[in-house]
Each structure stands twice: as C-alpha cells, then as structure tokens.
Amino acid sequence: MRAMVLHAPGQALRLEERPDPQPAAGEVRLRVLACAVCRTDLHVVDGDVPLPRLPIVPGHEIVGVVDRLGAGVSGLHLGQRVGVPWLAHTCGHCADCRLGRENLCDSPLFTGHGRDGGFATHVVAEAAFCLPLDLPGDPVQLAPLLCAGLIGWRALRMAGDDAMSLGLYGFGAAAHLVTQVARFQGRRVFAFTRQDDAQAQSFARSLGATWAGSSEEPPPEPLDAAIIFAPVGALVPLALRAVRKGGRVVCGGIHMSDIPLFPYRLLWEERQLVSVANLTRADAAEFLRFAGSVPLKVRTAAYPLVRANDALADLRAGRLEGAAVLVP
Ligand SMILES: [Zn+2]
Ligand SMILES: [Zn+2]
C-alpha cells in the first residue's frame, strides 16, 4: 500500500510504501476510493490538537470498498462500499456511551488521529464503525458527506429545528452542504465570509443563501441561530451579536483560536453558546438516510493522493470552493 504519512506536527506529509495492512478480529480492510480533506486534518498536521500517536496517516472522510474481512465480522461483505468517518472506536461502557452520547466517549479513537486514516490506498477500520454507503454516486462526491456533511448535520440539529434564519460563519465544505440541507428544510441562510471574499459570497448565494456578506457586518435581521465553522475565536462575539434574544451560537470545529473578551450583554437575554464534538453512529445513519432523499450538489476539487500536501495548502489558504478530495 501507499500512504501519505505525518511524522511530526508542522512537517509535510511523506509518501511511503508499506506492507498491506491486515485486519484484526472485528476489523475490515478497505481499498480507498476517495478521501476528502477536512479542516481537522489541517489541525492534526499543524499539531493544533493533541496527537495520541505518530507517525499517523490523516484522513477521516473515506469512501472505500471492503477487500478483506477480519475474523468474526458479520454485517459487511467483500466488495461492499462503505464510508469511514472520524469516530473510529468507542469503549461502549463509559457513562456517555451508556447514555447514547458515544461522541463524548471517555476513551475514543478517531480516524486519521488515533488510528491510521484514508490518505492512503488502503485502510483498516473497525467493522462496527464503518457506514454502509448505499447512496448512488461518484466516491469523490460522497466523501465530503462523511465529515463536512455529518458534522454539519449535527451542528444544524444543535442549532435547533426551530431556527428558521440561520447564520453560517466560514463558507467551506461543511457550510456549502448545510446551506443546501437548510434550504431544503425551508430555512433561510445568511453566509458570513472573510471580508471581501466575493467569490465565497457568490458561491453561497448560488446555493440558495438569502444574504452573504463579511463576518464583520451585521446581518439584515437578527438570526435565530448561527453556526461557526471557521476556527476563529473572534467570530464568537460577532455571532452572538447577530442572534436574537434566546438565540443560539454553535461552534462546529474541533479547534478554535482564543475567544476574545466580550461584554456580558452579548450573552444576556438567554443567548446560548455551545460546541459540537465529534459524531455518533446514529447521527451518521440519520444524515445518510436524509442525504439519500435530497439532491445535494457536492462541490469538490479532486487531487491525486500524492498531492495531499497541495490539497492541505489550498484548504489552508482558502483557495477551495467546496471540498478537496484525494483519489489514490
Ligand atoms: Zn472532519
Ligand atoms: Zn465510552
């Protein structure tokens, strides 16, 4: 197999040849068809999040085909197309697991973080955490659903089913999917981008956003809720300022720069500030069912696997519209 490997935070990924991995009991091996690049991969590569092991192969939006079954695996078969998301393993017995909040498990493993991910030709995953992908379509188009889509979905649920006017801060892969889902649900979307990012703003409008402007600008009306996808703490007070009394601000990323001091009156009147962490398999099943019934237009830029560093650089520089996807 070939893989793009991170040896130390801040370094470029290195292409390596490795022996094909063998699935242990309860695991499967996949031949990777496509793996999207998420902002969390940038945080992994930069060491913004603690890394439990190195070297590591990043990548947690994997579409692959089962090509080897470990002992005792049932429910998946050879040749089946599956998705592998960020959540790779949970303990199953901590308090959060028992309460159905496996996204908050005390001792989880994450794909492309605590175990090798999909920036590779092959990957091994726990069968119980593979998501059957019956959706039709090109693997490149499906890959971004596995994190941008799933985390976007969980963040949207967190924003509240009654949030009919919704602000999105940071218009990348997740926001471009959430916009389409929210529009399908009859919500109005207000897209906030970097100042003067006319391209992202027109992209947002083309997907049905009611309004698009700079994060510094107030929206034309108070919003019911806002989701912050950009890893920029300074957006928190801006988003709180944009939501109505009782409104909610959801932080959708795994890492964010420090939140600046802000006056209490921005939180006053029962505004809420919450974060979304990881996902549960129930979120995934729910979202993939939903995605099968909505014509999502997934904007992607495909890169050969060996160009993973270029894809990361383009994401970092904000040069992408939609999601970068690596193809082995
Ligand atoms: Zn992700
Ligand atoms: Zn647990």
What's the CA-to-centroid distance between 228 and ligand 2, angstroms? Answer: 27
Same domain, yes or no: 180 and 246:
yes
pTM: 0.94
- 289 occurs within a structural domain: no
- DSSP calls for 66-80: EEEE-TT--S--TT-
Query: pLDDT-derived band of residue 175, with 50, 70 and 90 as boundaries?
Result: very high
Query: pLDDT-derived band of residue 78, with 50, 70 and 90 as boundaries?
Result: very high
Structural domain ending residue among the three candidates 275, 290, 315 = 275
What's the CA-to-centroid distance between 50 and ligand 2, angstroms? Answer: 19
Of all residues in the chain, the percent with pLDDT exceeding 70 is 100
For 18-34, the pLDDT digits (tens) are 999 999 999 999 999 99
What's the CA-to-centroid distance between 247 and ligand 1, angstroms? Answer: 26
For 260-296, the pLDDT digits (tens) are 999 999 999 999 999 999 999 999 999 999 999 888 9
What's the CA-to-centroid distance between 104 and ligand 2, angstroms? Answer: 7
- 52 occurs within a structural domain: yes
Tell me whether residue 86 is exposed, middle or buried, using C-beta atoms within 10 angstroms of its C-beta: 0 to 12, 13 to 18, 19 or more: buried
For 295-315, the pLDDT digits (tens) are 899 999 999 999 999 999 999
Burial 277-315 (b: 16+ CB within 10 A, else e): ebbbbebbeebbeebeeeebebbbbbbebebbbebbebb
Same domain, yes or no: 16 and 111:
yes
What's the CA-to-centroid distance between 42 and ligand 1, angstroms? Answer: 10
- DSSP calls for 181-193: HHHHTT-EEEEEE
Residue 295: per-residue pLDDT: 83
What's the CA-to-centroid distance between 277 and ligand 2, angstroms? Answer: 14
Give the Cα separation of 151 and 220 in Å (integer): 27
Same domain, yes or no: 114 and 220:
no
What's the CA-to-centroid distance between 63 and ligand 2, angstroms? Answer: 25
The mean per-residue pLDDT over the stretch 52-79 comes to 97
Residue linked to tokens 């990323």: 253
For 215-263, the pLDDT digits (tens) are 999 999 999 999 999 999 999 999 999 999 999 999 999 999 999 999 9
Torsions phi, psi for 46 (to 5 deg): -85, -10
Same domain, yes or no: 129 and 155:
no
Residue 256: per-residue pLDDT: 94
- Average per-residue pLDDT in the chain? 96
Considering every ligand atom shown, identify the ligand nearest to the alpha carbon of residue 99 and give its number: 2
What's the CA-to-centroid distance between 284 and ligand 2, angstroms? Answer: 17
Residue 134: per-residue pLDDT: 87
Token pair listed for 326: 């690596």
**Are the beta carbons of 308 and 187 closer than 8 angstroms?**
no
For 99-138, the pLDDT digits (tens) are 999 999 999 999 999 999 999 999 999 999 999 998 888 9
The mean per-residue pLDDT over the stretch 53-71 comes to 98
27-36 and 14-17: which strand pairing? unpaired
Query: pLDDT-derived band of residue 97, with 50, 70 and 90 as boundaries?
Result: very high
- 97 occurs within a structural domain: yes
Q: Residue 69's domain spans which residues?
A: 2-134+298-327
- Structurally, the chain folds into a number of domains equal to 2
Considering every ligand atom shown, identify the ligand nearest to the alpha carbon of residue 35 and give its number: 1
Token pair listed for 108: 């989880």
